[in-house]
């Protein structure tokens, strides 16, 4: 099929590379001329496993980059909208990028020939499909020549290509059989299993659902599924963070509690990792947008406020732990491991690690940071206010404490003896629970983490009750 992707951000680029991998002909359109030039030169602007390979394999043949949206639409069967939907006034999603793109898409439908399906893939509030349909019609697209479909994406940054090609489910919200047929054809290589039988397919991750299930729903249900999924995952994280706080109060271990909770088949183990809270370009924004949607529909979804409150408090609790470990922050040298909002990505948007770093700077600490992928982006924001190291050991050199702020696998594999030698004081505050407390004590560290007993070298664990503060 001939596919146009509108917007070459995380979702757009991944979808473009993956649709080309599924043997569709893809045109990726963006209004950022610099970005297009970089993509045309063969650069991959984001850190995402398998994406550079896909862009390299298909650029110039099944995948081309263009600036003229209307022209690309005129020549396509399906148009995927993957433009950003940032938080606007009152937490609502700002759909101005959508509207702008819709006007050009309408020109493309009117100027082209045949029937086209316009697909919303970005996360949008319920009723957006109806609204989009109207804007397209008002902007001159003949009504019988297009349909609007909601097909939300569930990609995680860092594993986006695998999530796209090995999805838990594909959700297609459509109101016409004609449109549903087109989307079934787009995803046929995944739903028939054809792609997975290919010798050159990307290797299947553990527990992949093969063939991929496709769920057909109404458009409104599809829109709600996406927002509800992100809100529910954020809720799980805040829930386990609250439980971790209780564990700290009674010197229990959240690891043990999670093992017991997650082994209940009705609960499951995923998204129960406590830490410094969720961040990124999706959860904070989508939670606010979902809250605003509920409000507009007359439902006071206060549970979501609480999810956000616990999330924000988690950073404060971490900072309190750092203050406790350092006694005074002013003038202390702190090694920060991780700036990205999670491991496996160079994305620092709404990163708890960045927020904590800013707070430490405001309190007078001097920070030396290391992140395997996000340093260039962090430098653009923090500039000369912090120092950047070549690796974790260099960051730790002479530091009064080391803070773990992002769950990079390479941090979990650090040589603790070497780290110990580098530090001025063997103090680690771990916001991601990457290490085993007993081992840290053995290695000579004063170690505090989230929801687990604090340990000191050779000191026995104290049994005590504290108030949750």
Active site residues: 282
* Tokens at 119, concatenated: 């697909």
Nearer to ligand UGA, 219 or 342 (CB): 342
129 near 120, Cβ under 8 Å?
A: yes
Q: Is 349 in the site for ligand UGA (CB under 6 A)?
A: no
User: At its nearest, how many Å lie between ligand UGA and the CB of residue 48?
Assistant: 10
What is the rounded CA–CA span in Å between residue 420 and residue 403? 13
> Residues 283, 318, 408, 446: which binds ligand UGA (CB under 6 A)?
283
User: At its nearest, how many Å lie between ligand UGA and the CB of residue 444?
Assistant: 28
Q: Is 446 in the site for ligand UGA (CB under 6 A)?
A: no
| Region near ligand UGA per CB under 6 A, out of 52-60, 84-92, 273-281, 301-309 | 273-281
What is the rounded CA–CA span in Å between residue 150 and residue 220? 8
Q: Is 126 in the site for ligand UGA (CB under 6 A)?
A: no
Q: Is 79 in the site for ligand UGA (CB under 6 A)?
A: no
Q: Is 275 in the site for ligand UGA (CB under 6 A)?
A: yes
Q: Is 430 in the site for ligand UGA (CB under 6 A)?
A: no
Q: Is 230 in the site for ligand UGA (CB under 6 A)?
A: yes
Nearer to ligand UGA, 196 or 271 (CB): 271
Written as one string, the DSSP assignment of 377-444 is HHHHHHGGGSEE-SSHHHHHTT-SEEEE-S--HHHHT--HHHHHHH-SS-EEEESS--S-HHHHHHTT
Reading phi first (left if > 0) and then psi (alpha if -120 to 50, else beta), residue 102 is in alpha
Half-sphere exposure of 94 (CA within 13 A, CB side): 10
Residues 384-403 that bind ligand UGA (CB under 6 A): none
Q: How many residues of this chain bind ligand UGA (CB under 6 A)?
A: 21
What is the rounded CA–CA span in Å between residue 396 and residue 37? 39
Q: Which residue bears the tokens 């063997």?
A: 426
11 near 5, Cβ under 8 Å?
A: no
| Region near ligand UGA per CB under 6 A, out of 48-56, 186-194, 230-238, 369-377 | 230-238
> Residues 4, 82, 123, 227: which binds ligand UGA (CB under 6 A)?
123
347 near 341, Cβ under 8 Å?
A: yes
Please give the helix or strand (H or E) that residue 292 lies within, else none.
helix 283-296
> Residues 129, 165, 172, 272: which binds ligand UGA (CB under 6 A)?
272
| Region near ligand UGA per CB under 6 A, out of 19-27, 267-275, 375-383, 418-426 | 267-275
Q: Is 431 in the site for ligand UGA (CB under 6 A)?
A: no
What is the rounded CA–CA span in Å between residue 339 and residue 461? 31
User: At its nearest, how many Å lie between ligand UGA and the CB of residue 223?
Assistant: 13
Q: In what order do the strands lie in the sheet with 63-66?
A: 63-66, 25-29, 2-6, 78-81, 116-120, 146-150, 170-173, 214-217
> Residues 73, 155, 183, 329: which binds ligand UGA (CB under 6 A)?
155
What is the rounded CA–CA span in Å between residue 327 and residue 333? 13
| Region near ligand UGA per CB under 6 A, out of 100-108, 148-156, 319-327, 417-425 | 148-156
User: At its nearest, how many Å lie between ligand UGA and the CB of residue 156?
Assistant: 4
Nearer to ligand UGA, 77 or 286 (CB): 286
Q: Which residue bears the tokens 């780290």?
A: 419
Residues that bind ligand UGA (CB under 6 A): 123, 153-157, 230, 233, 237, 271-273, 275, 278-280, 282-283, 286, 341-342
């Amino acid at each position: 099929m001939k596919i146009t992707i509108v917007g070459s951000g995380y979702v757009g680029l991944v979808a473009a590379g993956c649709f080309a991998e599924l043997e569709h002909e893809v045109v990726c359109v963006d209004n950022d001329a610099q970005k297009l030039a970089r993509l045309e030169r063969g650069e991959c602007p984001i850190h995402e496993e398998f994406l550079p390979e896909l862009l390299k394999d298909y650029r110039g043949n099944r995948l081309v980059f263009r600036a003229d949206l209307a022209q690309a639409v005129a020549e396509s069967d399906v148009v995927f909208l993957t433009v950003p939907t940032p938080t606007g006034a009152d937490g609502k999603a700002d759909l101005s990028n959508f509207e702008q793109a819709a006007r050009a898409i309408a020109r493309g439908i009117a100027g082209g020939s045949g029937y086209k399906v316009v697909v919303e893939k970005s996360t949008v509030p319920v009723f957006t499909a109806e609204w989009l349909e109207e804007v397209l019609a008002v902007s001159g697209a003949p009504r019988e020549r297009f349909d609007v479909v909601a097909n939300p994406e569930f990609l995680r940054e860092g594993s986006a290509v695998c999530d796209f090609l090995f999805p838990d489910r594909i959700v297609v919200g459509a109101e016409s059989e004609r449109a549903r047929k087109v989307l079934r054809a787009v995803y046929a290589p995944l739903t028939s299993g054809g792609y997975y039988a290919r010798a050159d397919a990307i290797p299947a991750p553990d527990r992949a659902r093969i063939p991929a299930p496709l769920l057909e729903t109404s458009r409104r249900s599809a829109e709600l599924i996406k927002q509800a999924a992100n809100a529910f995952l954020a809720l799980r994280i805040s829930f386990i963070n609250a439980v971790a706080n209780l564990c700290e109060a009674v010197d229990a271990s959240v690891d043990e509690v999670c093992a017991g909770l997650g082994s209940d088949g009705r609960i499951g183990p995923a998204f129960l990792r406590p830490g410094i809270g969720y961040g990124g370009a999706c959860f904070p924004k989508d939670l606010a947008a979902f809250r605003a949607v509920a409000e507009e529909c007359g439902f006071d979804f206060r549970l979501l406020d609480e999810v956000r409150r616990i999330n924000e408090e988690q950073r404060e609790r971490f900072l309190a732990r750092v203050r406790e470990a350092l006694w005074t922050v002013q003038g202390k040298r702190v090694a920060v491991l991780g700036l990205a909002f999670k491991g496996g990505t160079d994305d620092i948007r709404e990163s708890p690690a960045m927020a904590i770093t800013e707070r430490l700077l405001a309190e007078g600490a001097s920070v030396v940071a290391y992140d395997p992928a996000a340093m260039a982006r962090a430098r653009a924001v923090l500039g000369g206010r912090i120092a950047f190291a070549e690796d974790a050991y260099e960051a730790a050199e002479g530091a009064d404490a080391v803070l773990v702020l992002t769950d990079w696998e390479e941090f979990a594999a650090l040589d603790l003896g070497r780290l110990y030698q580098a530090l001025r004081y063997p103090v680690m505050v771990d916001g991601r629970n990457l290490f085993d407390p007993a081992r840290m004590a053995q290695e000579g560290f004063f170690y505090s983490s989230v929801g687990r007993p604090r340990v000191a070298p050779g000191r026995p664990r104290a049994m005590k009750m504290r108030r949750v503060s």
